[in-house]
């Protein structure tokens, strides 16, 4: 009983072993996490962007604010989702200094902040209506791996035509 009580007390007040990972299934919570991390970014923001969106990065003023503050911002988007209106909004981002490329397909959604914190969202393969499950992380190794994945797809992407 003493060991269980000690473990319970430690678990209530200290960091758990998996505090660097959280699973989020609610779109509103995913949007709140995204906005929080975007507001806190200081050096670099990278994103794989594809619909459906909990938060469309092109509707998010925080991206422009980050860029104005000197944050390097790079967005890689799936070309199938780029209609004329969306391309116009992208050109405004490019004019503000956001780097934008397109590619035919992306393996997941990804937002990476300062190479350490971020989220990945995976499409649920079981349901008929597209829904995403997000993994929010704050882990140097995971950030490094996700940055490598981003750079690989970024190199293969093309500038907007």
Provide φ and ψ at 59, rounded to 5°: -95, 0
What single DSSP character describes residue 1? -
Topology adopted by domain 16-159: Endonuclease; Chain A (3.30.870)
Number of neighbours of residue 50 by Cβ within 10 angstroms: 21
Angle between helices 61-68 and 27-40 (to 10 degrees): 10
CB 50 within 8 A of CB 81: yes
The reply to whether omega before 52 is within 30° of 0 (cis) is yes
- Burial state string for 133-142 with b = 16 or more CB within 10 A and e = fewer than 16: ebebbeeeeb
Rounded CA gap, 78 and 100, in Å? 11
Domain extent listing, the chain: 16-159
Residue-wise pLDDT for 27-61, tens only, equals 888 888 989 999 999 999 999 988 766 566 656 68
Residue-wise pLDDT for 62-112, tens only, equals 888 999 999 999 999 988 777 777 788 888 889 989 999 999 999 999 999
pLDDT given at position 110: 95
The Cα-based distances of 75 to 64, 129, 159 in angstroms read 12, 25, 11
């Amino acid at each position: 009983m003493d060991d269980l009580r000690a473990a319970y007390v430690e678990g209530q007040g200290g960091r758990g072993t998996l505090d660097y990972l959280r699973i989020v299934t609610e779109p509103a919570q995913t949007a709140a996490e995204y906005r929080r991390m975007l507001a806190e970014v200081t050096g670099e923001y990278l994103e794989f962007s594809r619909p459906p969106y909990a938060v469309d990065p092109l509707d998010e003023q925080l991206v422009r604010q980050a860029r104005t503050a000197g944050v390097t911002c790079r967005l890689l988007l799936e070309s199938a989702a780029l209609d004329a209106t969306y391309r116009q909004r992208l050109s405004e981002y490019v004019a503000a200094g956001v780097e934008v490329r397109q590619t035919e397909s992306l393996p997941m959604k990804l937002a990476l902040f300062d190479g350490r914190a971020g989220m990945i969202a995976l499409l649920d393969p079981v349901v008929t209506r597209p829904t995403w499950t997000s993994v929010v992380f704050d882990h140097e190794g995971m950030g490094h791996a996700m940055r490598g994945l981003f750079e690989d797809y970024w190199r293969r992407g093309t500038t907007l035509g």
